[in-house]
Structure 1
Amino acid sequence: MYRCCNVKRFLIMLLCDLIAVGLLMLLFQSSLFRTEGVSDPANQGVSLPVLMYHSVFSGRHSDYVIPPEVLESDLQYLSAKGYQAVLVSDLIRYVYHGTPLPEKPVMITFDDGYYNNLEQCLPLLEKYDMCAVISVVGSYIVNQAEQDSHVTAYSYLTFPEIRTLLDSGRIEIGNHTYDLHSHAHRQGCGILPEESESAYRELLRSDLEQLQSLLASQVQIRPVVFTYPFGYVCRESIPVIRSMGFLATLTCYEELNWITRDPDCLYGLGRYNRPYGITTEQYMQKALKGS
């Protein structure tokens, strides 16, 4: 009888241990244990912070203009903390083909296609062995870049300069619309209140294709990432963007991203804008940890 009780006690304790281990495994796989910039060993996903920059030059500074020394401080910080920059193409390979991402990935993005992204930013990316996504606006290239070029403060990239960036192997180009980057008439590429969905979708498709075709003819690429102007996302834009072959979209929602094997995770990626006037540590505390 005594021996039987011991066996029962042993079996009960073993069962409790197994249940405890199972609960710990479930917790480990949950979002409670998702840590900053760490890949899940069970292929459950990867935490991805995305940083958003615009113009970089020494002069007038704002929420969208920072001096080169601030960018260098940020890149130095990332490098020292073990972060490795990735491109949208790296995310696509992870999602669709299972190609591993770095243990601590980060994505660096620049919006609008300023000339200083070549002059000021590329040397710093090379110095710290980083890469970046630059989203360009077609009308800026066609109407402004060639006529008023090589001014660090405000010029935009020309097609030959975009080719130079691509040839560096560190830059991926995104579509930022051909001519819908404006507050004047509509909110970026959003639908107007009086506009029918069919008319809107045709307008958006025509605009995006105009830039896609230009980039294909001038620099032999068709971007797979679309960046919403001013971060404005409207429901009616989503089927157009997907049907045109864009595999990822960038917004201005300030949130961390969780990259899984589900292709839908690449749409609506959040980003943290880099303003002037705060330290690298303050910015990174927010952007890398979502705090």
Structure 2
Amino acid sequence: MIILLIIILLFLIYQHINKEVPILMYHRIADIPNDRNTVSPIMFEQQLQYLKRHGYTTISLQDLYHHFTLKSPLPSKSILLTFDDGYEDNLMNALPLLKKYDMAATVCIISNWIGQENNWEDYKNKPHCRTMDLAQLQEWLKQGMFICAHTVNHPFLPRLNNEEILHELASCKISLEHQLHIPIDFLCYPYGDFDNRVKILAKQAGYKAALGIFKGTDFWRNDLFSLKRVVISSRQPLWEFALKVSSLHMIFIGMRILEYRIKQYRDLLPPTLLQRIFSKHGNKKHINKNN
């Protein structure tokens, strides 16, 4: 009976993860050594080659939204590529490769950072770069790519009051729509940080869906306002990338969700209780060692 239950559970997990569309999260595409959030152009091209060779089709957030709301069919091996923050190297380095392999991507734009130097990253001792300016964003769109909102100033949204959150969400949408002359229907939460209050205000601001990462997301449920993404870093070999774009990508997300939940519950425990737990654990190890 136990074996049968395990088989049924594994089957249900497989059925669930097999229906999910991988949404990949990138930042910069450039040659920056030892920066986990920057993928080199060579590595990025290898990843696109892998996707092309194995029959993946890039889709847009609008395609995914219609799939969820209208049951519109998607290609059998659909995938979504997203770039946070709108760095200039997305246009210079990523766009030619995307065009070469006939793929599309969505860049998430911070309305107050358009055409700005990355002064917000000085503390990381990174070389200076710029975000795309308005003309470059228009070129990005002209080449068949997509844009979504990433707030006005890139704050931790749950730390703000309702009025501040609504300003970050609504003003970004209005500003981008006015400057780019396109509807901005989709949002990306800065740092993947949001809560139910933020989701409600995102709907109120007029968005159709929003991208998270793993924090605040539900492994079992598809929620248009907490779409799960898998992080693509500079530190992973191609075989790991292959797993992250397969049905097994949900395992990576599930592990991150579980890790976050454990940290949440750990933080709820009183410090004195944690000290007693670790003290007992240390004493047991000491006793076992003596025995």
Normalising to structure 1: TM-score of the pair? Answer: 0.72
Q: Which has the larger radius of gyration?
A: 1
Q: What's the C-alpha RMSD, in Å, of the aligned pairs?
A: 2.6
Shift of 1:68: 0.4
Is 2:167 the partner of 1:206? yes
In terms of fraction of residues, the more helix-rich structure is 2
- Indicate the percent of aligned positions where both proteins have the same amino acid: 26
Q: Which runs of 5+ in 2 are unaligned?
A: 1-7, 119-126, 252-291
Is 2:136 the partner of 1:175? no
How do 1:142-221 residues align onto structure 2 when only pairs under 5 Å count?
Answer: 143-144=116-117, 154-169=129-144, 171-179=145-153, 181-182=154-155, 188-192=156-160, 200-221=161-182
Shift of 1:205: 1.2
SS for the counterpart of 1:230 is: helix
Is 2:7 the partner of 1:34? no
State the 4+ residue runs in structure 1 displaced beyond 6 angstroms: 254-259
Shift of 1:97: 2.8
**CA distance in structure 2 between the aligned counterparts of 1:52 and 1:239, rounded to whole angstroms:** 24
Pick closer, same or farther for the CA change 1:35–1:237 going to 2, 3 Å. Answer: closer
Pick closer, same or farther for the CA change 1:227–1:117 going to 2, 3 Å. Answer: same
Is 2:216 the partner of 1:243? no
Q: Please name the residue that 1:270 is paired with.
A: 228
For the Cα contact (< 8 Å) 2:185–2:208, is it kept in 1? yes
1:144-179 deviation digits (Å, cap 9, x = unpaired)? 49xxxxxx961101111111111111x211111101
Q: Please name the residue that 2:191 is paired with.
A: 230
Q: Which runs of 5+ in 1 are unaligned?
A: 1-26, 39-45, 146-151, 183-187, 193-199
Shift of 1:275: 1.2
Residue identity in the other structure for 1:265: D
For the Cα contact (< 8 Å) 2:107–2:147, is it kept in 1? yes
Pick closer, same or farther for the CA change 1:53–1:66 going to 2, 3 Å. Answer: same
Residue identity in the other structure for 2:173: Q
Normalising to structure 2: TM-score of the pair? Answer: 0.72
**CA distance in structure 2 between the aligned counterparts of 1:99 and 1:53, rounded to whole angstroms:** 27
Q: Please name the residue that 2:4 is paired with.
A: none
SS for the counterpart of 1:266 is: coil
**CA distance in structure 1 between the aligned counterparts of 2:25 and 2:238, rounded to whole angstroms:** 14
Shift of 1:209: 2.1
**CA distance in structure 2 between the aligned counterparts of 1:84 and 1:116, rounded to whole angstroms:** 23
Pick closer, same or farther for the CA change 1:143–1:277 going to 2, 3 Å. Answer: closer
How do 1:101-112 residues align onto structure 2 when only pairs under 5 Å count?
Answer: 101-112=74-85
Higher relative contact order (CA 8 A, sep 6+): 1
Q: Please name the residue that 1:97 is paired with.
A: 70
Residue identity in the other structure for 2:159: I
For the Cα contact (< 8 Å) 2:27–2:37, is it kept in 1? yes
